[in-house]
């Protein structure tokens, strides 16, 4: 999604892309924090969240707590602004426990093995 927004910005079509993303009654943004955001991506994400704020539902999933989002976005000011909008009307669910993927793997008799580069060749 962010790469598409960056591409639209480069072609001077960001507003059209934001309007398209704003049409969805529900937007699910999965795995925030899997990859860090660069400065441009952080600002684009903020624009999207600001546009949807107080109008349309958005679900976020992340493996990092809110206190770690500074690492993701690389700018404490923008993180504060993003979280301010996200948390204002939100319900936060903190799920703890074993991953469903790992759980099903164990159930199938295939235990999880850590992969260490260079050691498992």
Q: What does pLDDT average to over the chain?
A: 89
Domain count, the chain: 1
Nearest to 62 by CA among 97, 26, 102, 30: 30
Q: How far apart are the first and last CA of the chain?
A: 35
Over range 15-27, report the average pLDDT. 96
Q: How confident is the model at residue 117 (pLDDT cuts 50, 70, 90)?
A: low
In a domain, 120, yes or no: no
Taking the model in full, what pTM does it have? 0.78
Contact between 79 and 73 (Cβ < 8 Å): yes
- Domain of 74, CATH number, reads 3.40.50.300
In a domain, 37, yes or no: yes
Q: How confident is the model at residue 104 (pLDDT cuts 50, 70, 90)?
A: confident
In a domain, 23, yes or no: yes
Contact between 74 and 41 (Cβ < 8 Å): no
Q: What is the extent of the structural domain holding 76?
A: 2-107
pLDDT given at position 110 = 74
Per-residue 3-state assignment (H helix, E strand, C coil) for 22-43: HHCCEEEEEEECCCCCCHHHHH
In a domain, 112, yes or no: no
In a domain, 24, yes or no: yes
In a domain, 44, yes or no: yes
Sequence-distant (6+) residues with CB within 8 A of 59 are: 26, 27, 28, 29
Q: How confident is the model at residue 24 (pLDDT cuts 50, 70, 90)?
A: very high
In a domain, 116, yes or no: no
The 10s digit of each residue's pLDDT in 59-86 is 999 989 999 999 999 999 999 999 999 9
């Amino acid at each position: 999604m962010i790469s598409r927004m960056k591409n639209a910005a480069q072609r001077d079509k960001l507003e059209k892309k934001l309007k398209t993303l704003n049409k969805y009654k529900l937007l699910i943004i999965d795995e925030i924090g899997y990859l860090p955001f660069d400065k441009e991506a952080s600002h684009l994400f903020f624009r999207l969240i600001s546009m949807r704020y107080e109008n349309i539902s958005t679900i976020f999933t992340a493996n990092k707590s809110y206190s770690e989002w500074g690492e993701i976005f690389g700018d404490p000011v923008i993180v504060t602004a993003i979280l301010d909008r996200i948390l204002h009307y939100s319900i936060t669910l903190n799920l703890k426990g074993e991953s469903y993927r790992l759980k099903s793997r164990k159930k199938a008799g295939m235990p999880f093995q850590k992969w260490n580069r260079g050691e498992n060749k």
